[in-house]
Structure 1
Amino acid sequence: MRKTVEEGKLEIGQTFPLTIRKMGINGEGVGFFKRQVVFVPGALPGEVIVAEVINIKNGFAEAKIKRIREKSPHRIEAPCPVYDQCGGCQLQHVTYEEQLRQKRDIVIQSLERYSGLNMEKTKIHDTIGMETPWNYRNKSQLQVGKQDTNVIAGLYGLNSHRIIDISDCMIQHAATNKVTQVVKALLRRLNIPIYNEKKHSGIVRTIVVRVGVETGEVQLVLVTAKNELPKKEIFIRDLRNKLPELKSIMQNVNGKRTSIIFGDDTHHLAGEEVIQETLGDLSFELSARAFFQLNPTQTVKLYDEVKKAACLTGTERVVDAYCGVGTIGLWLAKDAKEVRGMEVIRDAVLDARKNAANHGFTNMEYKVGTAERIMPLWVKEGWKPDVVVVDPPRTGCEYEFIETVLKVAPKRIVYVSCNPSTLAKDIKHFSKKYNVEYVQPLDMFPHTAHVEVVVKFTLKK
């Protein structure tokens, strides 16, 4: 017998009125049905909708909008024609000003739930946004497929393995869109075999394009399932004729049945092996597989916020934990006495050392390993950091790292987070010895639910 609303339990297919109370961490609307949490993608805080249950899980339900009874004044028509299919953006149906407000609220929700902070006394600044929040991504990685006789390139659709063709992505830099379109047309005209995931046959798997936003240099990496690229010489010739701005053309080979983009082997096809990019007055060489921030405009703002929170005077010893290729450390090096970083990925440490040398810094040192192992050794040698900067993965800091920092007790900690929930949990641990001076949200990826956060901690007296 079908359950009714009055019985207080939901079932799949059931419809009911729902008031949306807030925005969830993935950009969905959140409402409550008789104390049961209901997540509704596309719904906005303040709206009253008719919701239809599509999934029930332990402790919550998922629903879709059947009808909007009372519309939010912040709702707009999403400008992208495949917005509701692609899944790359979650918030194009919201005014940008409201996106910034909601991202701050997402941070507040996480802090209220996990951090143990007194929220009335915690300074949470307004979200730092972009002046022009479109065409900001400097790199695209689009899966290649066939649709009838057409070659398509795009992302897998929401909850599916069907490629949604993205002809002109509104958050991608114009140069990446242009190169992708030309490559698609050439692959079709030359009839170069496209990889078929189900059959594990064909050649071309992924089109990866990166642009140096400040330099204008563009790199194409064609990911293939085999070393052999049919009609390679013709393809390269026609590509360079149509796209003279292409500085680097590379091929990466990935023959495995995997969702991972890159394989282990990369071949140089034409032009240079790297492109150049600058952040502020720093310059970087970007190889085919090198990590680099996807929104350089906001990265400058983010790193400036890190520098502001670090309060460097030229006398401080700084630890750049989870340092990657050392970009944050480089940003701080001019104003620090010494910067030392550590990272578990050896290639990243080698790149960090190279970047420091290329910029003429002699006050920087990088080690392969974890901070919880290396920092105590430095302290034992008599080198104690005044400031620790940490930019961990989405999972947050390792517990051993937090305990190590608490023992070392630097004067300040600057925490850069890409996940408000794990940030809030880590704040609870750091709060044993540190005060939270302020929390600064920053919009690194407009029109998505992602929010970056910088937190300044100072040692309790």
Structure 2
Amino acid sequence: MNKQTNRKKETAVQLKLKQRFPLTIKRLGINGEGVGYFKKKVVFVPGALPDEEVVVEVTNVQPKFSEAKIKKIRKSSPYRVEAPCPLFGECGGCQLQHLRYDRQLIEKRDMIIQSLERHTKIDPSTIHIKQTIGMEDPWRYRNKSQFQVGMKQGEVIAGLYSMNSHQLIDIDECIVQKPETISVTNTMKRILQDLNISAYNERTRKGDIRTIVTRVGVKTGEVQVVLITRQKELPKSSLIVEEATKRIPNIRSIIQNVNGQKTSLIFGDETIPLAGETFIYEMLGDIQFELSARTFFQLNPEQTVKLYNEVKKAANLTGKETIVDAYCGVGTIGLWLADQAKEIRGMDIIKESIADAKRNAAKHGVKHAKYVTGKAEEWLPKWVKEGFRPDVIVVDPPRTGLDQALLKTIQQVKPKKLVYVSCNPSTLAKDIDFLHRQYKVKSIQPVDMFPQTAHVECVALLTLI
């Protein structure tokens, strides 16, 4: 009885804030933090790596987990390296710069396995989970930045919020961004400063500029700047345009987007062209795309080509198949598959994306593609009633995964193949679990779209049982 009582006491132990103890790190968590166990309680430790022995101090206690910070590393991982960015651990943008790159690729594959173990009844060893496809040069790859704007000691700053806080970190150099995006953002900061344009204050909900969004066409060199504002009236807008045009020679598109809501979402619903075109051009392989301000486009063009080639391999088309491209954006995946498909139908809830998709298809002479604004779960049943039944459905959803209504629609429509492009292993696993009675997971190919971060993209092939 005493032994049982002691065991019960041990499992009921509650950690306390600022409590210190030694911890062995077992694995990386989904957000890139080290994961260890203290008296059967899971502890997340940012900056810790698998197999390290560390002394930690508790910073947050929750019923099912605790968070802690490293106070001392007793045994360091052989894969630990010095992070090259001076803001690493502060800005929140990267989580794995301190882990050697070849090991990042191994750990990202393991994150997919962990997610399957946690969220499904499927044995991961029964699935062909391939080695992660990485980059030769895993730096300066991001073609778009979204930096929040603020004030510090009378100066306009722009950057990211520090991890788990609302402290804005000014970023005037970033080694995972394309140099052009940083240069343009820094120029826009100086213009706002010179013209005395106010920055939005999250606490008071006053000020003009909330966010500077900069996108560069890596292959074309064209630049688009979007100023996210609190209200439609933008002071000195003509002067902002004049200075931006003068100081940024390759700027093609200057856009204002209005977002007056108290929200973490970047974009609002109203978009106002200020100067130039409403889009910029970008190339993937031999295909040219028009990109409007609000349209989704992958942030790492080099890896996107590899990702879409994996989609093409998984679909394994013969030229006779009908395809649905759900969450189609500007039509990138559908157009990538177009030369091997009988018909493509895509949908997206953002009307600007659909307008871009139609133009992109027309420009490349793709006449067997149809794009509509709306949700897949609404359009698919209509099309099925009209006699259109897709052989393959390709999905590329946001991090939240597939809408429950779409999952049920897929079950009803029963395409022969589902090619699932995922940016979140946890929601991928949950969606697989929902579908696994009808679909077998044949393979999962991880692709490292975001080196130095904990994010991993993958292409999962599900076939009808």
Normalization by structure 1: what TM-score?
Answer: 0.92
Cα deviation, 1:374-416, whole Å, max 9, x if unaligned, reads: 4344344433222121222323223443343334333222111
Cα deviation, 1:36-66, whole Å, max 9, x if unaligned, reads: 1111111100000001111111121111111
Q: What's 2:423 paired with?
A: 418
Q: How does 1:75-94 map to 2 (within 5 A)?
A: 75-94=80-99
Distance (Å, rounded) in 1 between the aligned partners of 2:254 and 2:92: 29
Cα deviation, 1:204-249, whole Å, max 9, x if unaligned, reads: 3322211001100011222333455445444433433332122222
2:347 aligned to which of 329, 342, 350: 342
Q: What's 2:27 paired with?
A: 22
1:240 aligned to which of 232, 241, 245: 245
Runs of 5+ consecutive residues of structure 2 not aligned to the other structure = 1-8
Q: How does 1:270-419 map to 2 (within 5 A)?
A: 270-419=275-424
Distance (Å, rounded) in 1 between the aligned partners of 2:40 and 2:155: 49
Q: What's 2:212 paired with?
A: 207
Deviates more, 1:337-346 or 1:325-334: 337-346
C-alpha spacing 1:358/1:12, structure 2 compared with 1 (3 Å): same
Question: Offset of 1:70 from its aligned partner?
Answer: 0.2
C-alpha spacing 1:142/1:362, structure 2 compared with 1 (3 Å): same
Distance (Å, rounded) in 2 between the aligned partners of 1:367 and 1:267: 23
Q: What's 1:191 paired with?
A: 196
Distance (Å, rounded) in 2 between the aligned partners of 1:408 and 1:205: 43
Distance (Å, rounded) in 2 between the aligned partners of 1:65 and 1:205: 34
C-alpha spacing 1:191/1:118, structure 2 compared with 1 (3 Å): closer
Residues 10 and 39 in structure 2, CA contact (< 8 A), matched pair in contact too: no
Residues 115 and 426 in structure 1, CA contact (< 8 A), matched pair in contact too: no
Deviates more, 1:145-154 or 1:341-350: 341-350
SS of equivalent to 1:198: coil
C-alpha spacing 1:372/1:188, structure 2 compared with 1 (3 Å): closer
Normalization by structure 2: what TM-score?
Answer: 0.91
Deviates more, 1:227-236 or 1:336-345: 227-236
Q: What's 1:430 paired with?
A: 435
Distance (Å, rounded) in 2 between the aligned partners of 1:447 and 1:374: 38
2:71 aligned to which of 60, 66, 70: 66
Question: Offset of 1:181 from its aligned partner?
Answer: 1.5
Deviates more, 1:320-329 or 1:298-307: 320-329
Q: Identity across aligned pairs (percent)?
A: 58
C-alpha spacing 1:182/1:42, structure 2 compared with 1 (3 Å): same
Question: Offset of 1:80 from its aligned partner?
Answer: 1.1
Residues 291 and 356 in structure 2, CA contact (< 8 A), matched pair in contact too: no
SS of equivalent to 2:128: coil
Aligned-residue CA RMSD in angstroms?
2.3
1:165 aligned to which of 166, 170, 174: 170
Residues 317 and 339 in structure 1, CA contact (< 8 A), matched pair in contact too: yes
Deviates more, 1:338-347 or 1:60-69: 338-347
C-alpha spacing 1:211/1:53, structure 2 compared with 1 (3 Å): same
Distance (Å, rounded) in 1 between the aligned partners of 2:197 and 2:418: 53
Deviates more, 1:32-41 or 1:313-322: 313-322
The one-letter code matched in structure 2 to 1:107 is: I
C-alpha spacing 1:40/1:366, structure 2 compared with 1 (3 Å): same
Distance (Å, rounded) in 1 between the aligned partners of 2:256 and 2:431: 41
Distance (Å, rounded) in 1 between the aligned partners of 2:162 and 2:364: 42
Distance (Å, rounded) in 2 between the aligned partners of 1:265 and 1:199: 22
Does residue 151 of structure 1 match 2:156? Answer: yes
C-alpha spacing 1:253/1:403, structure 2 compared with 1 (3 Å): closer
Distance (Å, rounded) in 1 between the aligned partners of 2:296 and 2:12: 53
Question: Offset of 1:27 from its aligned partner?
Answer: 0.5
Deviates more, 1:285-294 or 1:172-181: 285-294
